[in-house]
Amino acid sequence: MDSIIVTGGGPLNGQIPIAGAKNACLALMPATLLSEEPLTLTNAPRLSDIRTMTELLTSLGAEVAGLQGGQVLALSSHALTNHTAEYDIVRKMRASILVLGPMLARDGQAVVSLPGGCAIGARPVDLHLRALEAMGAELDLREGYVHARAPRGLRGAVVDFPLVSVGATENALMAATLARGTSVLRNAAREPEIVDLARCLRAMGAQIEGEGSSEITIEGVARLHGATHPVVTDRIELGTYMLAPAICGGEVECLGGRIELVGAFCEKLDAAGISVEETPAGLKVTRRNGRVRAVDVVTEPFPGFPTDLQAQMMALLATAEGTSTLEERIFENRFMHAPELARMGAQIEVQGGTARVHGVERLKGAPVMATDLRASVSLILAGLAAEGETLVRRVYHLDRGYERVEEKLGGVGARIERIHGD
């Protein structure tokens, strides 16, 4: 099992290219199941989760080819040969549930295992199922699988989500494109990944209005055609690498970054004493003089502060002047990185969904263990600011969401190395 060694000390300077969004690409890839014609995705990230989705789609009879080193994905679902998404693949990644809506909409049948993913608390799929039931799907849960049928096809419906859910919005949005009549998704997720999916579906011939707002209207069509679509910039990778110069000092330009992707995050950086400047190529991040200042953070659905940047922000605030409070409102059990940061000298008190971080002048390098995807990179960021050497174990989580992290950080002056295990 691979590990990463980080030696702290010294500012970072240079440019970091930001990849296409993992979470966007994982929703865009199943959209191929809606059409018999090819779908081409450009600016795709090269990650293990993308390979897992490729494996899943291939098992259903789709064809997926990676071109130009994997940054272009050519997908075709002209002849689906299987409608069962097996547990052995689905358990690796929660986004696997996103094949359910497209298969049901196109062929009227789907059998999908209940999904897996990071161990960051309960993330039930009941909102996905309720949306599909509203569209006329017949559902049966047995032996760990969702058995779904729509023998007469799906029909348009008004879906009122009781909670904002990105995945459920994506599944319902894709299913509604081929449903008979008009569908309205209320309390829909507003994330950039939803907007990106809607744009791709529209390029395939879907009739969609309102993406980016809390109400999306879809007029079902008889069929969708092929398209070429660029994957939106990964706002979580963007925010993560913006924190590197914030925590270490220096000046780093994140290529492809845009303020509108990370607005609430940038507000907190500004309050902490970090300068973010738009450039023709992206976003330039500079730490102002002295230690960063403590700030309070509450995670919320977009356009609020992203839950997927909470762990990384905690690493920064561990070295801030003063006491910060981080309140996690999206996922339970998402402070598992706190004890590992404490091994490096961070002073953190966790009570339920709230963490109080008392900033220290300097963290100390230590052996630590990654518990999930975002925790992995938070420990690497902490290692960049720590005195001495930090060994981060179990970084297989990291490879699900960050491509070439050693190369990208090493390119701006970080001392970071991967140690390959068995």
- pLDDT values of the chain reduced to their tens digit, one per residue, 422 residues: 899 999 998 899 999 999 999 999 999 999 999 999 999 999 999 998 899 999 999 999 999 998 877 799 999 999 899 999 999 999 888 889 999 999 999 999 999 998 754 343 444 688 999 999 999 999 998 888 999 999 999 999 999 999 999 999 999 999 999 999 999 999 999 999 999 999 999 999 999 999 999 999 999 999 999 999 999 999 999 999 999 999 999 999 999 999 999 999 999 999 999 999 999 999 999 998 789 999 999 999 999 999 999 999 999 999 999 999 999 998 777 899 999 999 999 999 999 999 999 999 999 999 999 988 888 999 999 999 999 999 999 888 888 889 899 999 999 999 999 998 86
94 is in an annotated binding site: yes
Known binding residue 235? Answer is no
330 in a labelled binding site: yes
Q: Quick one: pLDDT at residue 421?
A: 80
Q: How far is CA 148 from CA 15, 100, 105, 108, in A?
A: 47, 8, 10, 8
Candidates 331, 422, 393, 343; CA nearest to 118 is: 331
N-terminal to C-terminal alpha carbon distance within the chain: 5
- 129 labelled ligand-binding: no
Choosing from 25, 118, 254, 266, which is the catalytic residue?
118
Residue 124's pLDDT is 67
Cβ 292 vs Cβ 316: under 8 Å? yes
Distance of CA 169 to the CA centre of its chain: 15
Which residue is it, tokens 């398209």? 227
Is 285 annotated as contributing to ligand binding?
no
200 is catalytic: no
The rounded distance, in Å, linking the Cα atoms of 381 and 379 is 5
Under 8 Å between Cβ of 386 and 363 = yes
Please state the pTM of the whole predicted model: 0.91
User: How does DSSP classify residue 337?
Assistant: T
The residue behind tokens 């940054």 is 71
- C-beta separation of 200 from 28 below 8 A: yes
Is 125 flagged in the annotation as binding?
Answer: yes
What structural domains does the chain harbor? 3-19+233-419 (3.65.10.10), 22-230 (3.65.10.10)
- Distance between CA atoms of residues 19 and 192, nearest Å: 15
